[in-house]
Amino acid sequence: MMKLDTTLYRKYACAILNKHIPSQIFNSHDFWIMAQGDASFPLLWSFLSPEQQNKARFLLQHPMSEQVFAADALRMKNATVRVLRAFNDAKIPIICMRGLAVSEKLYPKSYLRPHTDIDILFEEKYTLKAKQIVGNTLQYRPLDAYPMLFKQGDIPLDLHIEPIGAERIVSWKNLTPLSTSDFFKYAKKGKLGGEDAVLVHERVMLPYLCFHALKHSFERLVWLYDIALLSQQVTKDNTWDDVLAGIREYRLEKPCFYALSYVSKHMQGTVPIHILDQINPNMGFMERRLFKRFMNHEIIPYLAERLFSRMIPNFKQRFEFWRETIYPRYEVRQQIAGGGCVKCNFIRTRLKQIARAIWAFVKETIFPVRT
């Protein structure tokens, strides 16, 4: 059996998405394990012919089929519809930030885009009532240390009053002016799972998905494929001018340039060259190397923090960003600690992360062997 690293996995996965099936995937148990962890398994599997699926099936730990994917998707769809219905009954407008809003509106079959949690966005004035609905009506229980995260069985429900995560890392507000009001301002009425829903306009949705993917250092290939499909929808709707206006208004040129460049090259994203030219950020020597590695399918440690710091406009705000990133407020330290002694576990985790970051920096500056 062939061993794979994440870079090679991404190279093969993108080849599949371009309908060029590499023979190596039929001799690699690691490829399919990575695909499951990446939430890309149903999508990649759908590109194989029945004969190719039979050839790869012996590499799998558990039987996989369209029926299995559809059953998992139906469970999440029903859970999301229950949430939408409860909030509709209470006359509280909410937005599904990803999940069903992505799988049902962008993918040819919604089960090709698995999701394991529900993220909803609403105005801050509804916070107390929203928690009452989630706890009393929907019977989700709150989780310790996460005041806006609830769970029922194995399904988490994450409540958001702002879209970028600045309730956890306050200095992120300096990254972009994108706010909850923008989501509702550029929205229209529609349906999700047959239930009334508020759907976000591409002007906001595409920059947001690019930001979200970068926030997690582009660790999952499926987040980039979401953007590829949305870019195709933008081209079909002829709304690139609106999207470009949104990218500029929210100052998200950098995450959008990275994501749109990748999907344009590797995932059949339909991004006009003039759009990429207009959002191309100024890059120094180090960032050009980072971008090249990213475009060569590499998952780069701490890419989010490194690019975010370059997006912040002045030194004072940049200093506050790094201070809060390294040593956030107690609630976030408690979440990072993951239980037990908050102080001990947090410091132990941070020391490991700092050591990993230093080693990554040393390899990049002293041993520049990557192509």
The average pLDDT across 229-255 equals: 97
The average pLDDT across 332-348 equals: 80
More confident: 326 or 201? 201
Give dist(CA 9, CA 282) in Å, integer.
30
Q: Flag whether pLDDT at 370 surpasses 60.
A: no
What was the pLDDT predicted at 2?
Answer: 59
* DSSP per-residue string spanning 212-230: HHHHTTT--HHHHHHHHHH
- At residue 191, what are phi and psi to the nearest 5 degrees? -130, 140
Residues of the chain with CATH 3.30.460.40: 90-200
Band of residue 66 on the pLDDT scale cut at 50, 70, 90? confident
Give dist(CA 161, CA 147) in Å, integer.
12
Q: Flag whether pLDDT at 243 surpasses 80.
A: yes
User: Cβ(156)–Cβ(148) under 8 Å?
Assistant: no
Taking Cα atoms as reference points, which of 20, 21, 24 lies closest to residue 8?
Answer: 24
Alpha helices by DSSP H, listed for the chain, are 6-17, 29-37, 41-46, 50-57, 66-89, 100-106, 127-132, 180-185, 202-215, 221-237, 240-249, 253-266, 273-279, 285-295, 303-311, 315-326, 330-337, 342-365
Q: Flag whether pLDDT at 82 surpasses 50.
A: yes
**Is the dihedral angle over the CA atoms 293, 299, 300, 302 positive or is it negative?**
positive
**Which region among 56-60, 182-186, 201-205, 311-315 has the lowest average model confidence (pLDDT)?**
56-60
CATH 3.30.70.100 fits 90-200, yes or no: no
Band of residue 52 on the pLDDT scale cut at 50, 70, 90? very high
The average pLDDT across 75-80 equals: 96
The average pLDDT across 240-259 equals: 98
- Parallel, antiparallel or unpaired: strands 95-96 and 118-121: antiparallel
More confident: 330 or 179? 179
Contacts of 325 (CB under 8 A, 6+ apart): 169, 171, 305
Give dist(CA 140, CA 120) in Å, integer.
14
Determine the 3-state secondary structure of 166 from DSSP. Answer: coil
Give dist(CA 84, CA 102) in Å, integer.
15
Structure token pair of residue 38: 């990446």
Structure token pair of residue 370: 């990557």
Taking Cα atoms as reference points, which of 182, 184, 165 lies closest to residue 174?
Answer: 165
Contacts of 236 (CB under 8 A, 6+ apart): none
Q: Flag whether pLDDT at 368 surpasses 60.
A: no
The average pLDDT across 209-237 equals: 97
What was the pLDDT predicted at 161?
Answer: 95
Q: Angle at Cα 355 formed by Cα 349 and Cα 356, nearest 5°?
A: 90
pTM assigned to the model: 0.93
Band of residue 124 on the pLDDT scale cut at 50, 70, 90? very high
